[in-house]
Structure 1
Amino acid sequence: MPSLKNKVIIITGASRGIGRSMALRFAQEGATIVIAAKSDKPHPKLPGTIHTVAKEVEDAGGEAIPVALDVRKELQIKKLCDQIGEKFGRIDAVINNAGAISLTTVENTSPKRYDLMQQINSRAVYCFGHYALPYLKQSDNPHILSLSPPVNLSPKWVKDFSPYTLSKCGMSILSKGMAEEFKEYGVAVNTLWPQTYIATAAIEFAVGDKDTLNYARKPEIMADAAHVILTHPSRNYTGLWLIDEEVLKAAKVSDFSQYAYNPEYEDKIQKDLFLD
């Protein structure tokens, strides 16, 4: 399988959770990881900052570039893309992992929370597509990968938290459109979503509680799936709404027990949102 050695990869929300796991997975092959997140200083409740992950990336064998970034600020995104693109002459991949979640109805979602989800989720995908494109064009295998689901407009998914659903489906619709638009440049644009709950702060605090993590898989499954995607030839692997388990099965992975957060609950792992 092709390597990510020396590839320049921007990962948003990389100070913890899935973003951190992806950073460490790619670092094992000697990739250069731009760790872009708001967590410049320690969070009172959550572990990890861009600086702690930078050290982990370097210890794993990669090059780390920690950058304090708020994906709501398009000029910060432009500055980041320009700095990285000009320094390396290209950007090889952008992973839109940063996310905001509130599983609340229209009635119970404040305008401020609504705007936050649209900005951090779907709008950031647009901003990175817009500002990273000139540098992605210079890569020999460029990819944009966003963590969002296959679009599912079943009443089950739009009734109780449509503001969040809109923001995540917006990411997927934008990705489908960019895949067609950027095809002539050889830039792959895909989305990736977990088959199951993933043991992250979002699951613990927004979906359930600490006990909910027992019904989840570890973030490493998403990192391994992302690795498979980024090592595919970009010209013939684009415009796809992908599921982590399906990606890994296609790559001949058959043992998923290794990803269980709590092995004792392996047969009780919960299917993720938006998947019927």
Structure 2
Amino acid sequence: MLQSFHRTNTLSLSNQTIFITGSSRGIGREMALTCAKQGANVVIAAKSSDPHPKLPGTIHTVAAEVEALGGKALALQLDVRNEDKVQAAMEQTVEAFGGIDVLINNASAIALTPLQDTDVKKFDLIHSINTRGTLVCSKAAIPYLKNSQNAHIITLSPPMNMAKHWLKPFIPYTLSKYGMTLLTLGLAEELRVDGISASTLWPQTAIATAAVQYALDANLMKKSRTPLIMAEAALAIIQTDDLSYSGQTLIDESVLRSKGVTDFDVYLFDPASKELMRDLYLDQ
């Protein structure tokens, strides 16, 4: 359910091209569908081209959903670790739609283990997807974003909370996610002269995704919100046609409250449960 601020916002996404990494399922998929409802061209860029035995969704199923909602879709199988493939994907996007207006760095890997229990190869993997993948995709998109009248880079990473209780438990993952944030904050300043907004977006609560269900604890699903809240927060950022969000580490609930949204029960994964789990790195 799109809430009231979207009905009053006059900034159309018609003819706007949104490139979303990791968008074959979860938050990325919901962002793709939300943008499609606003008439956007959506690039579904993810590794999942063939069905997964446990996880629903592929780039092709999401592309079909986007088109059914009135948007135009381009499904691209993409591993953000491959610089050449990322560059080619950006070029294919421009060939198909004429440009790129928004890059959403959603692709991410999670590994909540202490440093001493984390294999270096595992760190290399999450770093290459999270920090390096965000850098590679951003660098490849920037030349095209410079031609947009309302360009945004939105990276799904947390505020840099330096409290000891967050620095301790899973150093490798934290290093990779804070790297995404630091990169985005730096891009906000580097790209300010070009009129390109760069901000991060993070959920106030756990979000009901496959990562929560399979990588963490399925019981947390009942304490989670749906991906729709992140999608609508991202849409609010995209529909802001100035640099007011640039350089900020944004939280989904705060963004929506600033737009006048007051009913957050619509985002509950389990309507019967009001006990929500606060997401990582957030203390208040």
* Length-normalised TM-score, structure 1: 0.97
Pairing 1:216–2:224 present: yes
Aligned counterpart in structure 1 of residue 47 of structure 2, from 20, 33, 38? 38
Q: Secondary structure at the match of 1:263?
A: coil
Deviations, residues 247-274 of structure 1 (Å, cap 9, x unaligned): 00000000000000001112x0110000
**Separation (CA, whole Å) in 1 of partners of 2:207 and 2:126:** 19
Q: Distance in 2 between matches of 1:157 and 1:78?
A: 35
1:272 maps to amino acid: D
Structure 1 residue 206 corresponds to structure 2 residue 215: yes
**1:98 aligns to 2:107 (yes or no):** yes
**Residue 139 of structure 1: which of 126, 143, 148 is its match?**
148
User: Given the alignment, which residue of 255, 258, 261 partners 1:247?
Assistant: 255
1:34-183 to structure 2, matched below 5 A, reads 34-183=43-192
Q: Secondary structure at the match of 1:44?
A: coil
Larger deviation, residues 81-90 vs 93-102: 81-90
- Number of equivalenced pairs: 274
Tell me how far apart the structure 2 counterparts of residues 83 and 52 of structure 1 sit (CA, whole Å): 19
User: Of the candidates 257, 276, 282, which is equivalent to residue 275 of structure 1?
Assistant: 282
Q: Offset of 1:86 from its aligned partner?
A: 4.2
Alignment pair present for 1:16 and 2:25: yes
| Alpha-carbon distance between aligned partners in 1 of 2:246 and 2:92, rounded to the nearest angstrom | 26
Partners of 1:51 and 1:87 lie apart in 2 by: 16
Q: Which 4+ stretches in 1 moved above 3 angstroms?
A: 86-89
Aligned mates of 2:194, 2:243 — CA distance in 1: 9
* CA distances 1:119-160 after superposition (whole Å, capped 9, x unpaired): 111111111221111100010000000000000121211211
* 1:224 alignment partner, SS class: helix
Asked if 2 retains the 8 angstrom alpha-carbon contact of 1:89 and 1:138, the reply is: no
Structure 2 residue aligned with 1:262: 270
- Counterpart AA for 2:247: G
Assess if the C-alpha contact under 8 Å between 1:15 and 1:53 holds in 2. Answer: yes
C-alpha RMSD of matched pairs (Å):
1.0
For residues 158 and 43 of structure 1, what CA distance do their matches in structure 2 show? 34
Per the TM alignment, residue 113 of structure 1 is displaced from its structure 2 partner at its CA by: 1.0
What letter matches 1:274 in structure 2?
Y
The structure 2 residue matched to 1:188, chosen from 194, 197, 201, is 197
CA contact (8 A) 1:143 1:234 kept: no
**Over residues 8-43 of structure 1, what are the superposed CA-to-partner deviations in whole Å (9 max), with x where a residue is unaligned?**
010001000000000000000110000000000011
Provide Cα deviations, 1:226-260, integer angstroms capped at 9, x if missing partner: 00000101433311100000000000000000000
Q: State the distance in 1 between where 2:126 and 2:193 align.
A: 31
Inter-partner Cα distance in structure 1 for 2:144 and 2:137: 11
Offset from partner CA, 1:100-132 (integer Å, 9 cap, x none)? 001001111111110111111111111122111
Q: Distance in 2 between matches of 1:119 and 1:133?
A: 20
Q: Show CA shifts across 1:57-101 (max 9, x none).
A: 011110010000001111111111122234433210000001100
**For residues 156-188 of structure 1, what are the alpha-carbon distances to aligned partners after superposition, in whole Å with 9 as ceiling and x for unaligned?**
112110100010000000000000000000000
Q: Which runs of 5 or more structure 2 residues have no equivalent in the other structure?
A: 1-8
The one-letter code matched in structure 1 to 2:74 is: I
